[in-house]
């Protein structure tokens, strides 16, 4: 079997580097979502449904059910896949991505979802963008690296993804009942974008274990050792 890591926004597969370094497993696949420093398939319009279909296709290429791990949008997409295709998932672990009709998008998401305003925001230069990322709990040096990877293609995909997801919580919440694989929810208690109460909601709705970490939104960056430890324990199931 393989472990498949899925990053979020605005990020790349590199998000998982510090966690991977702490793992003993070698069967690791860290995916790069289309448009996030990776090619965009022909006719791909970066909606949430297309990202789910893309992720299912990548998991189907594995020879047996996988251990799926996601953060931020990677959490939302991974949990959706687990609800649609339980046959593909041995275990799942995810965090910092609410799937609830009660969740209200954070202020930055609302900007991205607004035509014209979102495009104007994307004109921020690297230094300005790095300050925004730092505000979500990313160390300064890493936020600069992350901001430097946000190119025009990624910006376009971010806007398209968020504009397809106004009501993702109400649309996908009911499907959580279809999840059968053992789950783990990991979440920063000081997450400024995704309040900790939604970790409790996701864990309850999926009968998953919940681990709360003393950090903000970017758990794989802020607490890589702890994430690696809880994952390895989870995979023993």
Summarize pLDDT for 107-118 with one digit per residue, the tens.
Answer: 999 999 999 999
Residue 89 · residue 68 · CB < 8 Å: yes
**pTM for the model:** 0.97
Per residue in 218-231, pLDDT (tens digit) is 999 999 999 999 99
| Cα–Cα distances in angstroms (integers) from residue 140 to residues 8, 25, 85, 132, 226, in the given order | 19, 30, 38, 10, 21
Per residue in 106-145, pLDDT (tens digit) is 999 999 999 999 999 999 999 999 999 988 888 888 999 9
* Cα 165 to the center of its chain, rounded Å: 14
* Cα 94 to the center of its chain, rounded Å: 7
Can you read off the two tokens belonging to residue 163?
Answer: 């504009």
Q: For residue 1, what pLDDT band results from cuts at 50, 70 and 90?
A: confident
Strands (E), 3-125: 3-6, 28-31, 66-71, 89-95
Question: What are the φ and ψ backbone dihedral angles of 189, each rounded to 5 degrees?
Answer: -70, -20
Average per-residue pLDDT in the chain?
96
Q: Could you count the other beta carbons within 10 Å of the beta carbon of residue 124?
A: 15
Domains of the chain: 3-103+167-234 (3.40.50.1820)
């Amino acid at each position: 079997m393989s472990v498949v890591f899925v990053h979020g926004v605005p990020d790349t597969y590199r998000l998982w580097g510090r966690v991977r370094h702490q793992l003993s497993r070698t069967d690791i696949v860290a995916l790069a979502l289309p448009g996030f420093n990776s090619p965009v398939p022909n006719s791909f319009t970066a909606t949430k449904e297309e990202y789910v279909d893309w992720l299912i296709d990548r998991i189907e290429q594995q020879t047996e059910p996988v251990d799926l791990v996601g953060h931020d949008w990677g959490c939302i997409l991974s949990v959706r896949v687990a609800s649609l295709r339980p046959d593909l998932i041995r275990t799942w672990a995810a965090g910092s991505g609410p799937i609830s009709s009660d969740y209200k998008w954070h202020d930055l998401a609302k900007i991205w979802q607004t035509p014209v305003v979102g495009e104007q925001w994307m004109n921020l230069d690297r230094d300005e963008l790095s300050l925004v990322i730092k505000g979500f709990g990313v160390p300064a040096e890493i936020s600069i690296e992350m901001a430097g990877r946000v190119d025009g293609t990624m910006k376009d995909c971010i806007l398209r993804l968020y504009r397809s997801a106004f009501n993702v919580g109400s649309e996908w919440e009911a499907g959580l009942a279809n999840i059968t694989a053992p789950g783990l929810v990991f979440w920063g208690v000081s997450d400024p974008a995704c309040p900790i109460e939604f970790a409790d909601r996701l864990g309850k709705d999926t009968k998953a274990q919940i681990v709360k970490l003393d950090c903000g939104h970017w758990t794989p960056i802020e607490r890589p050792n702890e994430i690696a430890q809880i994952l390895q324990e989870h995979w023993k199931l």
